[in-house]
Amino acid sequence: MRTLDGLIKHGVKGRRILVRCDLNVPLSEGAKRTVTDDGRIRASLPVLTKLLDHGARVIVAAHLGRPAGPADAAYSLGPVADRLAQLLGRPVEMALDTVGPSARLLADGLGDGALLLLENVRFHPGETSKDDAERHAFASCLALLTGGEDDGGAFVEDAFGAVHRKHASVFDVATLLPHYCGDLVRDELNVLRELTGEPERPYVVVLGGSKVSDKLAVIDSLLPKVDRLLVGGAMCFTFLAAQGHEVGDSLLEADQIEACRALLTATSADGTPKIVLPSDVVVAADVTEEAAAEIVAADAIPAVSKGLDIGPETVKTFAAALADAKTVFWNGPMGVFEIAQFAAGTKGVAEAVAAVDGLSVVGGGDSAAAVRALGLDVTAFGHISTGGGASLEFLEGKTLPGVAVLDEA
């Protein structure tokens, strides 16, 4: 795999370098949308700064959310361009399109050490198309913005949060230009390799977040490797249902109950169950700041209530299960942390993960945002990954298209 430093050694001054970044950040609602968590933008700065400092003409491709169609204004990268310029301390030129007249004009006119951000690549149907030819055609247009290989064009893959997608700007474009692995992708992969190699024990995984169906595959492949797996978030209710408990109006994936029941039988060497579920939960009738919240036992959730956080007793149990861990991977908030009265579980678990004397890795866009939003000391964690889906698929042992393509010459 060729590295960014290798590219820089060859000299990048005056060359147009296409960089795929992960700038998929949460925005505020309303007329003037602003970036509410800039973690992924900050994580993209080292590679961009390195290239700009060496006089490259940098063209950044990135996506934002899942726009319904082209030019879905709510998904414009405009607010991201503003924040990027602020953090870089340099001007950011923003194209009005992805590979259209605006992008071509600005790419052709780029000066040495200047940066152009293309509009949301998902505005173009070729980006996510299942049709190889359609994706390839869009990737060719992206590659052409650099002038192509003969004109010094090159591609740097730095969007770790997107490498699990076989998308035009992540995968296909690397088949069309000399390609290099960015520092963020390199660092993320190095940490995740520590988790899949011979992690120091006890190895404890904490999973939460919204959908159990998204995470069953990773639970399946992690269970044999971990000593304990702590389950919170909305997904714990499908497991509680699998144990025969009523979960009221909580999020439940009925079609996953059987699969969860099978997973619950896993035990460690000493015969204790590997999966640890909440013993108490915070419930309310509505997912609002005003709703009256109460703490109930996990086997006594009222029929009209939604489980929205793990309870204080569970936080203690989870913290105790993490106390002697030497390796921890945490993905998915323990509750609806965006609302203060359902944030205590996530905060408590985050503090326990931060206190771990060993390697602690946080993966997942919302989990990383929670760590920052709840005011925790980010330096207390071993690594905060920018990629949720990507890190989970790596841990499952799946091939990441955006990484595999870099291995090819």
Is 382 near ligand ADP (CB under 6 A)? no
Chosen residue from 126, 152, 182, 335 binding ligand ADP by CB under 6 A? 335
Residues 336-365 that bind Mg ion (CB under 5 A): 365
Is 311 near ligand ADP (CB under 6 A)? no
**71 torsion bin: left (phi>0), alpha (psi -120 to 50), beta (else):** left
Residues with Cβ within 8 Å of 22's Cβ and at least 6 positions away in sequence, in order, are 40, 43, 44, 62, 158, 159, 160, 161, 162, 184, 386, 387
Contact pattern from residue 362 through residue 401 relative to Mg ion, giving x for each residue in contact according to CB under 5 A and a dash for the rest: ---xx-----------------------------------
Does 215 participate in catalysis according to the annotation?
A: no
Task: In whole angstroms, give the CA distance from residue 315 to residue 353.
Answer: 11
Count of other CB atoms within 10 angstroms of residue 338: 16
Please pick, among 15, 16, 20, 40, the residue that the annotation labels catalytic. 40
Please pick, among 152, 209, 248, 365, the residue that the annotation labels catalytic. 365
Is 305 near ligand ADP (CB under 6 A)? no
103 versus 236: smaller Cβ distance to Mg ion = 236
50 versus 306: smaller Cβ distance to ligand ADP = 306
153 versus 365: smaller Cβ distance to Mg ion = 365
Question: b/e for 74-88, b at 16 or more Cβ within 10 A?
Answer: ebbbbbbbebbbebb
**338 is in the binding site of which of Mg ion, ligand ADP, none (Cβ under 5 to 8 A by kind)?**
ligand ADP
Does 6 participate in catalysis according to the annotation?
A: no
Which residues, in sequence order, are bridge partners of residue 281? Answer: 296, 310
**Rounded to 5 degrees, what angle do the CA atoms 208, 157, 358 make?**
40
Does 382 participate in catalysis according to the annotation?
A: no
Task: In whole angstroms, give the CA distance from residue 160 to residue 129.
Answer: 20
How many residues interact with ligand ADP (rule CB under 6 A)?
Answer: 19
Chosen residue from 161, 278, 311, 332 binding ligand ADP by CB under 6 A? 332
Nearest to 189 by CA among 357, 331, 5, 386: 386
- Tokens 């790596």 correspond to what residue? 394
* 3-state SS, residue 22: coil
Q: In what order do the strands lie in the sheet with 280-284?
A: 294-297, 280-284, 306-310
Tell me the residue ranges of DSSP E strands in 272-388.
Answer: 275-276, 280-284, 294-297, 306-310, 327-331, 359-363, 383-384
Is 282 near ligand ADP (CB under 6 A)? no
Is 332 near Mg ion (CB under 5 A)? no
The distance in angstroms from the start CA to the end CA of the chain is: 8
Contact pattern from residue 149 through residue 188 relative to Mg ion, giving x for each residue in contact according to CB under 5 A and a dash for the rest: ----------------------------------------
Residues with Cβ within 8 Å of 375's Cβ and at least 6 positions away in sequence, in order, are none
**210 is in the binding site of which of ligand ADP, Mg ion, none (Cβ under 5 to 8 A by kind)?**
ligand ADP
Is 278 near ligand ADP (CB under 6 A)? no
Chosen residue from 199, 307, 387, 401 binding ligand ADP by CB under 6 A? 307
Chosen residue from 367, 400, 405, 406 binding ligand ADP by CB under 6 A? 367
Q: Quick one: which segment of 49-57, 88-96, 291-299, 326-334 binds ligand ADP (CB under 6 A)? A: 326-334
Does 364 participate in catalysis according to the annotation?
A: no
* 3-state SS, residue 385: coil
**332 is in the binding site of which of Mg ion, ligand ADP, none (Cβ under 5 to 8 A by kind)?**
ligand ADP
Cα–chain center distance at 243: 30
37 versus 127: smaller Cβ distance to ligand ADP = 37
Active site residues: 40, 211, 365, 389
> What are the residues binding Mg ion (CB under 5 A)?
365-366
